[in-house]
């Protein structure tokens, strides 16, 4: 395995972990406050889909 393949797989794993963390936010639904206002849940849905797609794409490229 050369360095490019290893780099793509590491990046894919990082994106997968970030996607999993966003998914866990959807499941657990913690209260997150930003400047005193509650953060809506829809950005986590969007982040889960985008990060999961990037993870799959990079893994497939490797």
Domain that holds residue 30: 3-61
**pLDDT for the residue 37:** 95
Residue 1 has pLDDT above 90, yes or no: no
pLDDT in tens, 21-39: 999 999 999 999 999 999 9
Burial of 23 (0-12, 13-18, 19+ CB in 10 A): middle
- What is residue 59's predicted lDDT score, i.e. its pLDDT? 96
pTM of the model: 0.88
Structural domain total, the chain: 1
Evaluate if residue 48 carries a pLDDT over 90.
yes
Site of tokens 């889909």? 49
Instruction: Give the list of residues 6+ apart from residue 38 with CB closer than 8 angstroms, or none.
Output: 31, 32
């Amino acid at each position: 395995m050369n360095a490019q393949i290893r780099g793509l797989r590491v990046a894919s794993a990082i994106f997968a972990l970030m996607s999993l963390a966003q998914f866990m936010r959807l499941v657990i639904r913690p209260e997150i406050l930003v400047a005193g206002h509650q953060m809506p849940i829809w950005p986590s849905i969007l982040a889960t889909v985008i990060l999961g797609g990037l993870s799959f794409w990079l893994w497939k490229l490797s």
